[in-house]
Structure 1
């Protein structure tokens, strides 16, 4: 599958929300975490959101980086990394992380904090992130989440 990563547009907000809310990775008990998530145009304007757009113009996945986020100056926090269910396993997640690190280096950012969905931790570790702790649950999130760091 071929995709190009580019900044998200206002018109992408509904599609991004749909990818989050329908993700098979959040089935069962994890569904509460994303059930009410809405990617708004305000979120798109306030944060760094980039989409993997297919040659046909569809959205294969996206990243959202909080501005500001967890960590020190010169560090970012990955808020979202989602790949559409129908294109998982085709390198889109790695493409998005490659793009994230390229963008980070261009902005003189050397480290990205990731509070991972527990089932996604292995993906980030394979990419080179390392576990530095856990983040306790709160609100609709009743489980601990791995806190990872990715050096770009």
Structure 2
């Protein structure tokens, strides 16, 4: 990582465009994984409603972000029993510099402070090794949900 570690701050509705730009620029969702993002766009209400945190540099340039689903009504609406890491993206040019690890560390600290004991992750298959390297345990797979998701996805858990 560069000499100055990223700052992590809560996202606001004003961050919507750059968060969406980062999501759609991600090479992790090109090729066979591209359909999952067809028409996908976060709105300002999403960033305000769900704990979403940005990793930014000293100029407030977005380096990466994560978002948790923790609201009981939202979890029930999606059929989730546990809080879930809904999104984690790091700028392709900055991967391997510790930003994802810093975001996960922040998420785990936040979860602990809120009394959360487990966080579910449904991962893009190529990201599974990263999640395992930061302490998540594989618990199974999630079947495809065509037409957008035509592949199995690893299901992992952070146990706090």
TM-score (norm 1): 0.93
Count, aligned residues? 149
TM-score (norm 2): 0.89
5+ residue gaps, structure 1, are: none
Query: Which stretch of the first structure deviates more once superposed, 126-135 or 91-100?
Result: 126-135
5+ residue gaps, structure 2, are: none
- The structure richer in strand per residue is 1
Q: Tell me, yes or no, if structure 1 residue 146 matches structure 2 residue 149.
A: no
Q: Tell me, yes or no, if structure 1 residue 93 matches structure 2 residue 96.
A: no
Aligned residue in 1 for 2:83: 76
Aligned residue in 2 for 1:58: 61
What root-mean-square deviation, in Å, do the aligned CA atoms of Structure 1 and Structure 2 show? 1.1
Aligned residue in 1 for 2:28: 25
Q: 2:38 aligns with which of 17, 35, 39?
A: 35
Residues 95-114 of structure 1 aligned to structure 2 (within 5 Å): 95-114=102-121
Aligned residue in 1 for 2:19: 16
Aligned residue in 1 for 2:138: 131
CA displacement at 1:19 relative to structure 2:
0.8
Equivalent pair of 1:46/1:67 in contact (CA under 8 Å)? no
CA displacement at 1:45 relative to structure 2:
2.0
